């Protein structure tokens, strides 16, 4: 048994950054206020003391220039920058840098040049963050060829995925749901790497296939627990990990077996990964027993007000309801 330690999501990222920086002198961390006070939800704590100003530093409020600094510094792996934005919403300023420079960097050089940079961005979701601080733009980024867009769902996942993202020779957008920072898990203490392209089977079962990513994995785990307690139903629960490079092989196999599909996405319903997965299931001519269910955010901006916000986000009970819907027939038979 490998050594493990209980860490929060923020501590796990901190450990990953520390282990990457101590192994590889080309890794550096920067962004607005990243070396100070809150330390980005404790994820950069202690790094300044250990690695000094040269390798972790604050910047002016200039997201566009910061992003191009990361690109220029990363060229052909000369350095491995980790740029941090406290909210993913701030990245809207850097749309040009992502669309016209970073995403096509490898392509337009025919792979002679590459840009191994990591952009960490936090999705505010919850506690009145409102329309300008709670968006998740994961599908917007994933639409672009050439970007790896990943969303970890737990402390262990965050650590392994952060180490892989830094080691990856592609540009990675690493999206962190703020709601996950206080979650805890036993995390391997060693330096370990997660294959960003492979979804992880979190739970095994035969009755239906559920796909989630980021926070929605945690909510889905809770829903699965309820389903088991109430009806002894076991499900295949997949954590997508990567949004832009979804490898759906195992998910397709699972759907072939269960014939039932539920997609859970902390993001808008239109054009989400949920839509993409359903498309691919249809393209693969897989006949479903029931119409697939999508549990997503309404196609509306996020309200700040507490009761409206509560209404806006789904919870485990909404997922349970959707699961029961696709299981309709089965439940009748087993009752």
Partner 1 sequence: MQFSIQKEIYKNLSLIRKTQEEIIKRYHPADKMRCPMHFCVGQEIMPAVLGPLMIDEDSIYSHHRSHGYYIAKKGSINEMIAEFYGKETGSNGGLAGSQELSSTKIDFYSGTILSGAFAMALGGAFEKKYNQKKGIGISVIGDGGMEEGIVYESLNMATQMNLPILYICENNSYSTHTTLKQRTLENKPSNRVKNFNMKTTYFDGNDPDKLFNLMKSIVKKIRDTKKPHFVEINTYRFNGHVGPEGDDHFNYRSKKEINHWIKNDPIKFYEKKLFSKSRKLLALKKKINDKNFKIIDRAFRFAEKSKFPKRYENNNFKATYKNVKKFYNNSISFGTVQEDHKPKPY
Catalytic positions are: 133
Q: Are 150 and 161 in contact (CB under 8 A)?
A: yes
Question: Is 156 among the residues that bind partner 1 (CB under 8 A)?
Answer: yes
| Minimum separation from the CB atom of position 157 to partner 1 (A) | 8
Q: How far is Cα 244 from Cα 247, in angstroms, rounded to an integer?
A: 9
Size (the chain), residues: 335
Our finding on whether 252 is near partner 1 (CB under 8 A) is: no
- Report residue 53: phi and psi, to 5°: -60, -25
Please state the closest distance from residue 24 (CB atom) to partner 1, in A: 7
The only residue of 114, 228, 312, 313 in contact with partner 1, by rule CB under 8 A:
114
Does 108 help bind partner 1 (rule: CB under 8 A)?
A: yes
Q: Under the criterion CB under 8 A, does residue 270 sit at the interface with partner 1?
A: no
Who's near 95: CB < 8 A, 6+ residues apart?
Answer: none
Cα separation of 77 and 174, whole Å?
A: 18
Kindly state the smallest distance separating residue 169's Cβ from partner 1, in Å.
4
Instruction: Count residues near partner 1 (CB under 8 A).
Output: 78
Site for partner 1 in 116-155 (CB under 8 A): 116, 126-127, 129, 145-146, 148, 154-155
Smallest distance from partner 1 to CB 26, Å? 8
81's tokens:
């920058």
Q: Rounded CA gap, 183 and 153, in Å? A: 10
Interacting residues with partner 1 between 7 and 36 (CB under 8 A): 23-24, 28
Report in angstroms the alpha-carbon separations of 298 from 89, 107, 252: 18, 35, 26
Q: Does 79 interact with partner 1 (rule: CB under 8 A)?
A: yes
Q: Is 314 in the site for partner 1 (CB under 8 A)?
A: no
- Subset of 197-226 contacting partner 1 (CB under 8 A): 198, 200-201, 218, 221-222
Q: Does 64 bind partner 1 (CB under 8 A)?
A: yes
Q: What are phi and psi of 165, to 5 degrees?
A: -65, -40
* Separation CA 124–CA 135 (nearest Å): 7
Q: How far is the CB of 167 from partner 1 (least distance, A)?
A: 4
Q: Enter the DSSP assignment of 301.
A: P
Whether 297 contacts 312, CB under 8 Å = yes
Handedness of CA 39, 265, 244, 137 (dihedral sign): negative
Question: Scanning residues 33 to 62, which ones bind partner 1 (CB under 8 A)?
Answer: 54, 59-60, 62
Q: Could you tell me the sign of the dihedral formed by the alpha carbons of 93, 99, 105, 111, in that order?
A: positive
Asked whether position 72 contacts partner 1 by CB under 8 A, the answer is yes
Q: Return the residue of 11, 32, 43, 74 that touches partner 1, per CB under 8 A.
A: 74
| 78 binds partner 1 per the rule CB under 8 A | yes
Question: Are residues 87 and 124 in contact, defined by beta-carbon separation less than 8 angstroms?
Answer: yes
Decide if residue 4 touches partner 1 (CB under 8 A). Answer: yes
Q: Considering only residues 71, 91, 118, 233, which one is a binding residue for partner 1 as defined by CB under 8 A?
A: 71
Q: Which x/- pattern over 161-190 shows residues binding partner 1 (rule: CB under 8 A)?
A: ---x--xxxx--------xxxxxxxxxx--
**155 or 292: whose CB is closer to partner 1?**
155
């Amino acid at each position: 048994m490998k050594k493990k330690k209980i860490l929060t999501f923020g501590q796990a990222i901190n450990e990953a950054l520390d282990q990457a920086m101590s192994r590889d002198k080309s890794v550096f961390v920067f962004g607005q206020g990243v070396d100070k006070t809150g330390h980005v939800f404790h994820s950069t704590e202690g790094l300044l003391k250990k690695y000094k100003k040269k390798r972790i530093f604050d910047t002016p409020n200039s997201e566009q220039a910061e992003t191009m600094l990361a690109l220029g510094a990363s060229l052909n792996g000369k350095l491995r920058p980790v740029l941090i934005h406290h909210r993913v919403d701030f990245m809207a300023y850097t749309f040009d840098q992502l669309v016209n420079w970073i995403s096509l960097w490898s392509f337009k050089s025919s792979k002679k040049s590459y840009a191994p940079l990591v952009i960490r961005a936090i999705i505010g979701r919850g506690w009145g963050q409102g329309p300008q601080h709670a968006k998740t733009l994961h599908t917007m980024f994933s639409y672009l060829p050439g970007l790896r867009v990943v969303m970890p769902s737990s402390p262990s996942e965050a650590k392994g995925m952060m180490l892989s993202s830094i080691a990856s020779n592609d540009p990675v957008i690493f999206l962190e749901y703020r709601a996950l920072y206080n979650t805890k898990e036993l995390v391997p203490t060693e330096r370990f790497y997660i294959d960003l392209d492979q979804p992880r089977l979190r739970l095994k079962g035969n009755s239906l296939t559920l796909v989630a990513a980021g926070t929605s994995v945690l909510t889905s785990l809770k829903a699965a627990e309820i389903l088991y307690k109430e009806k002894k139903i076991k499900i295949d629960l997949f954590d997508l990990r990567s949004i832009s490079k979804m490898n759906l092989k195992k998910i397709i196999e699972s759907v072939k077996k269960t014939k039932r599909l539920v997609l859970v996405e902390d993001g808008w319903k239109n054009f989400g990964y949920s839509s993409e997965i359903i498309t691919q299931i249809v393209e693969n001519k897989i006949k479903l027993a029931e119409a697939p269910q999508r549990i997503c955010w309404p196609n509306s901006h996020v309200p700040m007000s507490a009761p409206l916000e509560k209404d806006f986000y789904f919870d485990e009970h909404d997922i349970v309801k959707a699961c029961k819907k696709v299981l309709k027939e089965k439940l009748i038979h087993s009752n």
